[in-house]
Structure 1
Amino acid sequence: MSALQASREQLASLDAQIADLERRLVALHHEKCLVQDELDAYKYPVLNLPNEIVSEIFSQTLPPYPICPPISGTLSPTHLTHICSKWREIALSNPQLWRAIRVSFWYNPIVISRRTELVETWIGRACYGPLSIELDIIGIGSAMPQLHSSIFSQRARWEYLKINLNLIDRIFSLTETMPFLRHLELDLNSEPEDGLTTSLILGPAPLLRSAVLAGFAPSFVILPWSQLTSLGLRRAFPEECIPILQCAPNLVHCELHIVTNEDFIPEEIQLLQLESLVITTPENNREEFVVINSFIAPALRRLDISRYQLGMSATDTLTSLFSRSGCSLEELRVTDASPDTTLQYHILASGLPSLTTISVSVRPAGTAMISFSPS
């Protein structure tokens, strides 16, 4: 019995020694980690910065919001999670890094599934703040169910939205309330399918002030035009643009990319607050076409216009605009000008004391810059 008792005591002693060794090993490992951290901080001082500063540095490395960073690569927040465990933790805990999302969808079901999962991950990391969304959708019918569950269900968080669609699908809708939406850009590359409604009406968006419609969108999209202060209409016909502009009296900036139409009949467009106007034409659409004759814009200060939008006599067209509007133009930029017309703009400027700068882009190459003082 005494021998058994002695054996038990020996085993207990060994257990105690093993436990003590384990505690020493844990302490040594902890001490090693501390020493390693000190060495890393010495070799890599950036690792010793406070998390708040590192998080701000991360924010500064990405494109400024609302510009969307790439999904991968050095300018992507995902790249920051691959540097080290500490930086990964900091990046994942900063919602501002994940609030701007740009992604493309097309017919491949595997691509749709993976991209949808990626979008859901980013939206989750962005927590509950506003979002900047940029979508390029090809084959919308197959992608829309997933998009509705991952992206369109977040309408209440949209602040900046850019969508490129090849067609309007039956289940595509923007009619719900979007309380944070400030900017909308919609590019529609084909007409709605047969049997669909001919218009897409935007739901309540009280903060919306800026919009860009391209392709077939000006024909089928209805926005709260009177709210807008900035509007772009791209690849649009004048008969589409003019009714829209007549309903948008508060525009301060307007950009028109006009497709010419021989049957166009000018109608008056009064934009009393308009300060900046851009009018261009497609590269393959170079007939002379004077939509500027429709404008009455007394507050106009900056005009960027294609020479093809000035008609046979640029001087007469511009003089008529100034006389009709009573505006005091300060900056004029004419694109696609021929070398022999530069003198016309020089003569024009001499009679406009408010004009400080003329920029003439001479075709086929080179840019002639002519500057004038108010006197």
Structure 2
Amino acid sequence: MSVHADLRARLAEADASIVELKSRLTAVEAVRQQLQSQLDGIVYPVANLPPEITSNIFLRCLPPSPELNKPVKGYPRMSQAPLIFLRICKLWRDIALSTPRLWVDLLLSLEELEMDEDELERRIADWFGRAGTCPLSFSVRGWMGMDAFGSDAISATLRSYAPHLQSICLQLETAHFEAIEDFTGPFPMLENLAVALPFLDEEADSPMLNFQPTFSNAPRLSQLSFTEEATPTMFSYSFDALSKVTCESCPPDDFLFLVECASFLGEFECTIEEDGMYEYSDSDVITGDHLHTLHFMPNCYFHSLQLLRLPALRNLRLSEDIDNPDENHDFLAFLAHSSASLRSFSAEREITTLTVDWFATSMPGLTELDLCQEDDDFLLEFFTMLDRAQNPGFLPHLQSLTFRDCTFSIEAPMFSALSSRTTADDQSSILESFRQIWPKGEYMVLEDATAASFRGLVERGMKIHVGPAHRSRI
């Protein structure tokens, strides 16, 4: 055999060996992959879960949405859901990217971002682009002196995703709002709007703000929140579905304006401030037909309070003193027109001019009462009236009674009244709970007989809390 023929034969044998070895390697790799898959199923059983179950687990790992007026550093974080799922493995990344509900909530802290406007806009588009057609929540937090950084990206986001935005929270400089105020929507799905202007006092030459009509085309808007110098009349919005308003600082005329204009307003929580033009006269009457819950802090002489008529009011909570005789008169006039339907009344500070007759004449249907009263004469009269054996018609439906920041030296009338409330008939209710919250920082010792009397009420089914707010001594 020639040398050439011999070399060709040996080369053919080498090629055949390579083919055989590659075939064996492929078979071994297939076995290895199968064994690795079986091992992963034992060591990492989550890897074998159906994608829909893994997706649901991812959703349960989402952190709670940060509150607009509380500091958050570096949110959203790469170490938290949903971003962390993109870094574990290809399977989890694919599942996360194909789960729209993971990407419906975005809060941006502009101070944390190191990028230009175009990059910011792309990042937002990438995030919300994964959410498909799901309702979206968009929150932005700024900082003082940012020269309206982010305005273009915020405006672009509002324009691009207006049809899907269900919740918008904006804590920004006035310059941001001035940059986006020309956009009127529509926002067909917007239900919640929160606005904060934390830098208003620090901004030089701040103008009289009136951002019209940025959110006026939002027919489903039901909840409004204004904090940190933002007030209701600074912005334009729809009243058609408005049911709940929270306002950290509300001038009296803004308060009355909302009650008058928002026909379906049901809950209002606000601090009444001294600012305002008081454009209402004593002959005006302002009616809120659907307002059922009012929590307010009258930090000023709020003369216009007596103009209110709230026929559906069920829950009233006061967070400040009402000691001025004239102010007390206005409050009584307000109660005369609005308290017949009250079921819950709470005063977080002492009302020194309060009389027991208020409850007998103005709030006969109360089921919950929460007061700060230290005067023993008032307490003696109250518990005397509360004794069902003597006055069966006094607050017959009362189920929860709380006295804050006070101690009692009228134990006999108190226990007699509480005991009488452990039974009821068809026209009355039992008193389910009684709380006596001691003044903060004050330590007291319950006499054995007193503690035994309270335990007797517990044995009869009444829930008792006596002691500091954080711990009952019973």
User: Shared topology, TM-score over 0.5?
Assistant: yes
For residue 109 of structure 2, give the secondary structure of its aligned residue in structure 1: strand
Distance 1:355 1:237, change over 3 A: farther
Is contact 1:184–1:211 with CA below 8 Å preserved after alignment?
A: yes
Distance 1:32 1:150, change over 3 A: farther
Higher Cα Rg, which structure: 2
Task: Identify the structure with the greater helix proportion.
Answer: 1
For residue 171 of structure 1, give the secondary structure of its aligned residue in structure 2: helix
Is contact 2:249–2:271 with CA below 8 Å preserved after alignment?
A: yes
Residue among 345, 370, 374 paired with 1:340: 374
- What are the residue-to-residue correspondences of 1:57-76 with 2, within 5 Å? 57-63=57-63, 70-72=75-77, 75-76=80-81
Paired residue for 1:198?
Answer: 210
Displacement after TM superposition at 1:204 (Å): 1.6
- What are the residue-to-residue correspondences of 1:41-52 with 2, within 5 Å? 41-52=41-52
> How high is the TM-score relative to the length of structure 1?
0.81
Matched, 1:164 2:171: yes
Residue among 236, 243, 254 paired with 1:222: 236
Displacement after TM superposition at 1:234 (Å): 2.1
- What are the residue-to-residue correspondences of 1:1-375 with 2, within 5 Å? 3-63=3-63, 70-72=75-77, 75-106=80-111, 110=115, 115-138=120-143, 139=146, 141-150=148-157, 152-169=159-176, 170-173=178-181, 174-189=183-198, 190=200, 198-201=210-213, 202-214=215-227, 215-261=229-275, 268-280=285-297, 289=302, 292-308=305-321, 312=325, 320-325=333-338, 327-337=340-350, 339-340=373-374, 347=382, 351-359=394-402, 361-362=404-405, 375=429
Displacement after TM superposition at 1:275 (Å): 1.4
Displacement after TM superposition at 1:167 (Å): 0.8
For residue 62 of structure 1, give the secondary structure of its aligned residue in structure 2: coil
For residue 34 of structure 1, give the secondary structure of its aligned residue in structure 2: helix
CA deviation vs aligned residue, 1:94-113 (integer Å, no higher than 9, x gap): 11011100111149763766
For residue 90 of structure 1, give the secondary structure of its aligned residue in structure 2: helix
Where structure 2 has 5 or more consecutive residues not aligned to the other structure, the ranges are 351-371, 387-393, 407-416, 430-474
Displacement after TM superposition at 1:203 (Å): 3.7
1:188 aligned partner, one-letter code? L
How far, CA to CA, are the matches of 2:286 and 2:80 in structure 1? 43
Higher relative contact order at CA 8 Å, sep ≥6: structure 1 or structure 2?
Answer: 1
Paired residue for 1:367?
Answer: none
For residue 347 of structure 2, give the secondary structure of its aligned residue in structure 1: strand
1:270 aligned partner, one-letter code? T
1:160 aligned partner, one-letter code? S
Where structure 1 has 5 or more consecutive residues not aligned to the other structure, the ranges are 364-369
2:315 aligned partner, one-letter code? R
Is contact 1:102–1:135 with CA below 8 Å preserved after alignment?
A: yes
CA deviation vs aligned residue, 1:256-291 (integer Å, no higher than 9, x gap): 12223598577643111111111136xxxx556566
Count of matched residue positions in the alignment of Structure 1 and Structure 2? 365
For residue 316 of structure 2, give the secondary structure of its aligned residue in structure 1: strand
For residue 311 of structure 2, give the secondary structure of its aligned residue in structure 1: coil
For residue 249 of structure 1, give the secondary structure of its aligned residue in structure 2: coil
Paired residue for 1:366?
Answer: none
How far, CA to CA, are the matches of 1:241 and 1:324 in structure 2? 18
Displacement after TM superposition at 1:178 (Å): 0.9
